[in-house]
Chains A and B, each alone.
Chain A
């Protein structure tokens, strides 16, 4: 294996994260830089795209091209970028609210469009930047939000199940408290040719201090993973408590990318209007 010229640290920018001390996202940032170093990615050929939220601040902390867009639209911006610039490695980072609530539609369609993009969702089951409201992945009984004082009362979103149903070919779950394993997941996701979805359980120390117990709750999958079998993947995901980590599903689907070889000139096309 060739020795990469750059160390993980070289992929960090000089901008200091605004995250709270102890935030799980630090470990995700670190894991991403380790994955980039392991793959020997050329910094300027990487674009990290995000929406809005604590985790969506990530692009500025990576020393590559970055696009910090608007709430929920990261996958759309990334899809446009990848369609126009297939030469780039495109990584999308965001949170559970950004990806599964306001950006839910783009999540579905990014899964089925299957462009060669890696999508990392740092899931802490809460809107942290707006000071602690329930997100789509929040348990229905969590009542610490002033906005839903009795809990949301509605079942939570199952990201892996929805990704599978929508057609994603690579589905994985990681935990920010496993900083040695996280880079491996991300390396596999980035190398996967197609849309790779990685849900990272990344606790919010400020609004969800209860998530400190994740350390004891996270466990490996009891089934053999990853599977290439869609039906098996569906069973594993449905039987899972949401706390198992690893690559769940990895299968090959046709990757969508516009096929556009220039073959004519505009002046020739315009002749169609001649009377």
Chain B
């Protein structure tokens, strides 16, 4: 259990604001990736990201429902208590590439979902608020289920031919 105020979340409202931001940011970022993959004609990967965006939005909606009737604190983007520089489910986007295969895209997705799950686990471990522990654990479980689903999905993927750029960036070595 940590006493670091930078990571301890002690009220349900504050926790839900974090959860909402996490799910919404991840939904936005998956949509953004899907859009840009479409623009670069990497349709298969675009579809994957679009699907993941859908899941995130569904989650966000569920969190939203939990917040109904609550008065939520207003946090600025730099007030969020992530342990990383950004919301955990949207943090390794620079690994994306217009030529990426669905296998590689799946790795990004897995990385993000695991980061999301770990965030909820960490919140549950560090808070003194029983109610926060309960909800965070529920959500960690749900994310864990997501991770499992993605892993299963990953094993069933058909290894497709890598995309080709007829005029690729110059990479001499």
Contacts and interface: CB of A to CB of B under 8 A. Distances in A.
Interface of A: 1, 3, 9, 16-24, 26-27, 30-31, 34, 38, 131-132, 143-146, 149, 177-184, 203, 205-207, 209, 211-212, 215
A24 B96 CA distance: 11
B162 to A, nearest CB: 15
Contacts of B100: 21
B98 A20 contact: yes
Contacts of B87: 179-180
A180 B36 contact: no
Q: Which one of A20, A183, A203 has the highest number of Cβ atoms from chain B below 10 Å of its Cβ?
A: A20
25 contacts: A3-B74, A16-B36, A18-B39, A19-B36, A20-B97, A20-B98, A21-B96, A21-B97, A22-B94, A22-B97, A24-B94, A26-B93, A31-B77, A34-B77, A144-B169, A149-B172, A177-B86, A177-B94, A179-B86, A179-B87, A180-B82, A184-B76, A184-B78, A206-B98, A212-B95
B74 A21 contact: no
Contacts of A23: 36
Size bin of chain B's contact surface: 20 to 34
A16 B77 contact: no
Given A203-B94, A206-B169, A209-B97, 20 more contacts: A16-B35, A20-B36, A21-B42, A22-B95, A24-B94, A26-B32, A26-B36, A26-B93, A27-B93, A131-B167, A177-B85, A177-B86, A177-B94, A179-B77, A179-B90, A180-B87, A181-B85, A183-B76, A183-B78, A207-B169
A22 B85 contact: no
Contacts of A182: 77
